[in-house]
Structure 1
Amino acid sequence: MALFHRPLPRTLEAALRDLKEKSVLVRRSAVQDLGRHAREQATSAIEEALLEALRDDDPLVRTEAAYCLGDMKSKRALPLLLVTVDDANSLVRQAAIDALGTIGDPQATGRLLRALEDERPDVRFQAVIALGRISVDTGMDAVLRAVCDEDPHIRYIAVRVAEELVTKELSPTDTASLPERLVEQAKGWLEDEDAHVRLAAAILLGKCGDDAGAEHLLDAIEGRIFPMEPEDEAAAIELAGTLKLHQAIAGLERRAFGWKRWIKEQHVDTARVALVRLGHQRARRAIVSDLRSWSRNQRTVAVTTAGQAGIREAIPLIEAMRGDHEQAVQEAVDEALELLHARND
């Protein structure tokens, strides 16, 4: 017998009703359920209720309503969201700007560009991200303005947005290219006073095939930048292999085989893939050996890394797993074989 009663998710009718309750806790829960219904099937009734919730007295209700309207890509919400950008609550402001970016309507461009000059850092931060979602040109304009911001967090996110824009819709094996107006500026970002901005710039250039930021990638691999976003850390490790940074081998070996891999996340498999791309035979043998592991999870990881590293001698072992869910996750098997056969063609 259950010790605690957990209420079932509300029906649409119940969520619409409870959004008008006096209890703020009930309204917070109801708007979340309404968002779930909106994801399943958006209706005008839901949209109307969320627009009303965006005027609620409680900031958490307004925040959730803004996110839900963004997910619905509600054009009707544009006027109210544009006003909500100036909400007294930081969470609500961020949600409103995020929603405007998700909706992606050019009508919001002017307001979002003005938000880049807002005195509140949270508004400027979210505005850069939102403008990047509206269009590539609009996003690049925002990047070029935001990289001059006094706040390093905003300069960092500007460089990350630039990376997302230039790598948009590229396959993992493609090399991106920087727009002409960004080439020299991006190299200038390598001299930023903030290590995280320098690393983001190095990753951006690296994904465009330029190793000008190699020293900053090495700093990340060696753990000399702290704290560090896991995504940036993984990207630096991967680029060491892609850009053939042989000077990174010692740091990659420590991640792939050192004792620290047992006590904290070191991106072990990403490091092994990078090492294989640098001609490292021990890493190559380790991946192939893991294909014979007793652990299904370890075999599946090895399948993925073998595909990413282009280990052709792994093809027979991976082919033998095809159709056998006990051996490995079949999606991983199919993806790895597709990569490996593509390299053979």
Structure 2
Amino acid sequence: MVTLDDGNACVRRYACEALGKITTKTATSEVINRLVSALGDDDEYIRMSACRCLGEMSEKVATSQIINQLVIALEDGHVGVREHACEALGKIGKKAATKEVINRIISALRDNHEHVKMSACRYLDKMNEKAATSDVINQLVIALEDESAGVRRYAYEALGKVGEQAASNEVIDRFLMALGHDHDDIGKYA
């Protein structure tokens, strides 16, 4: 645990990564608190590693404090931190499907970076009907027009899992158009 306080950023980063690999044995309150603290580190790679590690611990860390800290990380200035915060929230599961989290994920769908948008779609895909608000569906429909094939793919997958709430004429028309789409395998995901 001393290595998480090391003056060398590389040592702190490797300590976070090592904890992520042995999470089943390390999910103590002390480790979790240190990882939450690492979310505020000056080094973006340490913040990214802390998000990844907390995501690997998933249900063991599913407290409102951890979820709130990961939600704050969705606003981080580094794209990798935002991406891994989305992924971690998705791994935590339905406990992270609160209205506040879903609203922040909707904001992540409008991020400038495709990896953040893809992670946001994957989060919504895991939440199924729990995230099926009209705002979510509208943002996923907008994501169907994204320039990134990856974002479009995950938006289709998420809309498919949201259930009947997404079954508007517009969404159905988009799926039908995508079925004839031969670029980037989009038709396969529709």
Indicate if the aligned counterparts of 1:146 and 1:154 stay in contact, CA closer than 8 A.
Answer: yes
Paired residue for 1:29? 14
Q: Tell which has more relative contact order, 1 or 2 (C-alpha 8 A, sep 6+).
A: 2
1:91-128 Cα shifts (integer Å, max 9, x gaps): 11111111122223122111101222233333222211
Aligned to 1:57: 42
CA distance in 1, matches of 2:130, 2:176: 20
Residues in 2 aligned to 1:189 and 1:24: alpha-carbon distance in whole angstroms:
46
Q: 2:125 aligns with which of 100, 116, 132?
A: 132
Give the Cα–Cα distance (whole angstroms) in 1 for the partners of residues 91 and 103 of structure 2.
16
Distance 1:55 1:37 in 2: 22
Q: How does 1:185-224 map to 2 (within 5 A)?
A: 185-190=174-179, 195-196=183-184, 199-201=185-187, 203-204=188-189
Any conservation in 2 of the 1:85–1:97 contact (CA below 8 Å)? yes
Encode CA deviations 1:158-178: one digit per residue, 9 max, x unaligned.
224446x38xxxxxxxxxx9x
TM-score (norm 2): 0.77
The RMSD of aligned alpha carbons is: 2.7
The question of whether the paired residues in 1 share the 8 Å contact of 2:56 and 2:88 is answered with: yes
Who wins on radius of gyration, i.e. which is larger? Answer: 1
Name structure 1 gaps, 5 residues minimum: 1-15, 167-176, 206-345
Deviates more, 1:72-81 or 1:56-65: 72-81
Change (3 A) 1:121 1:64: same
1:121 and 2:139 equivalent? no
Alignment of 1:330-345 (within 5 A): none
Q: For residue 36 of structure 1, what is the amino acid of its counterpart?
A: K
Change (3 A) 1:55 1:33: same
| Paired residues of 2:153 and 2:189 also in contact (CA < 8 A) | no
**Residue 106 (str. 1) matches residue 124 (str. 2):** no
Q: Distance in 2 between matches of 1:159 and 1:190?
A: 11
Contact 1:143 1:162 survives alignment (8 Å): yes
CA distance in 2, matches of 1:33, 1:123: 24
Could you say if the C-alpha distance between residues 44 and 158 of structure 1 is closer, same or farther in structure 2, counting changes exceeding 3 Å?
A: same
Identity of aligned residues (%): 27
CA contact (8 A) 1:70 1:98 kept: yes
TM-score, normalised relative to structure 1? 0.45
Which residue, out of 81, 85, 94, partners 1:92? 81
The question of whether the paired residues in 1 share the 8 Å contact of 2:35 and 2:50 is answered with: yes
Gaps of 5+ in 2: none
